[in-house]
């Protein structure tokens, strides 16, 4: 059976994470930072062809997501 207290904490943590991520996106738009400028992203353009592979951004999101989820799970198990 799910413990409602730990589930509630998890939902509050995810809500706080969404607020933080929204603030980061708003801050990036105000500072005119571009998602494409992250090192590691691949952008290939030809005459009739364009390909964008956000490898650097994907690695960054993976690392941040792993750290945040481990922190949330650690807090839920306390």
Is the entire prediction scored with pTM above 0.85? Answer: no
Domain holding 35, by residue range, is: 4-76
Q: Which residue has the tokens 């807090």?
A: 75
How do beta strands 42-45 and 50-53 pair? antiparallel
How many structural domains is the chain composed of? 1
| Between 23 and 33, residue with greater pLDDT | 23
- The pLDDT value recorded for residue 19 is 92
Model confidence over 4-29: pLDDT tens digits? 888 888 889 889 989 988 888 788 77
Torsion over CA: 54, 56, 59, 60 (sign): negative
């Amino acid at each position: 059976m799910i413990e409602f207290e730990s589930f509630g904490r998890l939902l509050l943590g995810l809500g706080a994470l969404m607020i933080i991520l929204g603030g980061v996106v708003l801050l990036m738009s105000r500072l005119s930072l571009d998602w494409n400028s992250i090192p590691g992203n691949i952008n290939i353009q030809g005459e009739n062809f364009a390909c964008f592979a956000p490898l650097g951004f994907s690695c960054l999101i993976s690392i941040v997501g792993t750290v945040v989820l481990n922190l949330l799970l650690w807090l839920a198990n306390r």
